Amino acid sequence: MIRGIRNAIVLWSAITAVVASADPYLSPLAIAVRGDRLYVVDTTADRVVAVNPMKARVVRAFPTSDAPSGIAVSPDGKRLYVTAGAENGRVFVLNARTGKCVAELVTGHSPNAPVVSADGNTLFVCNQFTNDVSIFDLAANTERCRVPVTREPVAAALTPNGASLIVANLIPKGSATSGYVAATVDVVDTNARAVRASIVLPNGSVDLRGVCVSPDGAYAYVTHLVSRYQLPTTQLERGWVNTNAVSVLDLNAMTLINTVLLDDVDMGAANPWGVACSPDGARLLVAHAGSHEISVIDRGKLHQKLSEAAANGGANTVPNDLAFMVGLRERRRLAGKGPRGIAVSGPRVFAAEYYSGSIGVIDLAQEASRAAVSISLGQAPEPDTVRAGEILFHDADYCFQRWQSCASCHPGGARVDSLNWDMLNDGLGTPKNTKSLLLSHQTPPAMATGVRETAEVAVRAGIRNSLFNTLDESYAVKLDEYLKSLTPVPSPLLVNGALSDDAERGKQVFDTAKCSRCHPAPLFTDLKSHRVGTGMGIEQDKKFDTPTLVEVWRTAPYLHDGRAATIRDVITIANESGDHGDTSELSQEQIDDLAAYVMSL
């Protein structure tokens, strides 16, 4: 049943999207460096590429049987650990010289960010959609355990002594109406194999992408956005909507020292991603995927200025100070597009230019005015309409002053940031939770109140009201085609691609409780608006669009204002009127089964 529904949706998306090129695009995502070699994950080409940076050429390429997502190198340089796959997640253990796969390790859903211990005996892997970290014994090639973390771990770094693994979670967990909504950084005690501390970042912190640890192990640095979601989105100037930041953590005290903004007063530094310290600890390097640049930060001066702010009682103003980094940081524009993963070797910084199929290189020993260069990973086809739309979606060059891209509020492949935004769509004072754009073109109308007749209308409104730009119609068409091409990711609750026993029972409850009346398969929406008793204030009697339930497992929180942290909350706490199904007479077991089914879609 689930496979059939999913296949129908994938076919629908394929029909409505432009047919992609048969040749793969080159999309470097992550980089590892060992000796005189760079090892690069080329995710859309299903391969790992070995690069000689001194000769600026590809030495060899190793194919993988699934899309790779992350890479780590053993301390002796003989093994590559490559994460790959989604619901069938695994780690390919490759011979670094020949590329031969010598072992496969089974992981959780959508593994990424592998980290190897200094002694080469242990491998840590973030499993994004099972919300945990796998710990592997590499001598036996077996999984020791999985450590639960907060939500969608996507980056990790190990302290030099191996005692702590610092894990960055992509988006917040919980209700969007709590008044303080922020993602966390989890510190895993590698000996106890448990989370020792969860460090909450400033209110509005979302889209955590990178983490690194200082060479002395005293500090960690995490890249993310600080979204000003409590303000109406009436302008972009001075970081009114989104600012781009790095947070500094004290690993001895397990606390947040402060968060500094990477933007300038009149120019954003959108979508910070990879972060690394130079080997001597003198500099902190940050890749900006949206504004296509590297921030080169004087780490000593950064800590000195943070200490002075704390001593002078000004620490609380730092996360709002767009001038704080003046004199501490250089912005170096790259030649390529979309830098994500980053690595440092000696004075040179390497960035994975995701949308250029290349590795960007800057030399810290050279003046900032020297142009960056790129090492090509090979010949790739010209972007078709879908690929061009994907590039536009992630490119802040098309936003006024480069403060944000479409992906700033829709990270993770045009999905959700878990925040409520007071947009210009339906008047001020009516904040709405960010919706996933999956199937948005196939399930009109758009927006929570259906204020946009179609997703095409919404895309063009977004260009005006979110990017604060006017673009030729051809740009909007490209964005349409990219969004139409999106396909659902199988739920982590499925068992070998099928419903669990609990979910099978829940499917029956879904029908008897009349949930299917408004959420019929295969799109699980009737494409209509209804009064469901959730409107408040000036929206007391408002009708709300029936959202698709496809992939609802990854789009929490729920309802138009994100008040329901879980699907179970939707069924119980937020359904007093019974307009979300006849659930008042259900037993606790039936409610659990119903939630299991919905979360499997």
- Phi, psi angles (nearest 5°) of residue 503: -70, -35
Q: How confident is the model at residue 424 (pLDDT cuts 50, 70, 90)?
A: confident
CATH of the domain at 515: 1.10.760.10
Q: What is the CATH number of the domain that holds 143?
A: 2.130.10.10
Say whether pLDDT at 379 is over 70.
yes
- Does residue 468 share a domain with residue 531? no
Same domain, 105 and 157: no
Q: How many structural domains are present in the chain?
A: 4
Confidence label for 64 from pLDDT (cuts 50, 70 and 90): very high
- Cα gap 292→289, rounded to integer Å: 5
pLDDT digits (tens, 9 = 90+) for 229-265: 999 999 999 999 999 999 999 999 999 999 999 999 9
Rounded CA separation 276/222 (Å)? 10
Is residue 491, in this structure, part of any structural domain at all?
no
The rounded mean pLDDT for the chain is 94
Of residues 483, 355, 485, 487, the one with CA closest to residue 18: 485
Q: Per-residue confidence at 141, pLDDT binned at 50, 70, 90?
A: very high
* Strand pairing class (283-288; 122-127): unpaired
Give the per-residue pLDDT at 17. Answer: 42
pLDDT number for residue 2: 61
Question: Does one domain contain both 266 and 162?
Answer: yes
Residue 52: which domain range? 26-148
pLDDT tens per residue across span 98-140:
999 999 999 999 999 999 999 999 999 999 999 999 999 999 9
Q: Is residue 465 part of a domain?
A: yes
At residue 52 the predicted structure's pLDDT band, cuts being 50, 70 and 90, is very high
Residue 137 belongs to some domain of the structure:
yes
303 within some domain = yes
H or E stretch at 288: strand 283-288
Tokens of 333: 């524009």
State the pLDDT confidence band at 11, using cuts at 50, 70 and 90: very low
**What are the helix (H) ranges across 235-350?**
299-311
Evaluate whether residue 12 is within a structural domain: no
Mean of pLDDT values over 30-53: 96
Same domain, 142 and 159: no
Rounded Cα–Cα distance for residues 135 and 127 (Å) = 11
479 with 511, same domain?
no
Judged against a pLDDT cut of 70, whether residue 472 lies above it is answered with: yes
Predicted local confidence at residue 22, as pLDDT = 60
**pLDDT at residue 440 greater than cutoff 70:** yes
What kind and span of H or E run contains 492? none
521 and 465, same structural domain? no
Residue 459 counted as domain residue: yes
pLDDT value for 4: 55
Residue 97 and residue 160 in one domain? no
- Residues 190 and 293 occupy one common structural domain: yes
* The one-letter amino acid at 358: S
pLDDT of residue 447: 92
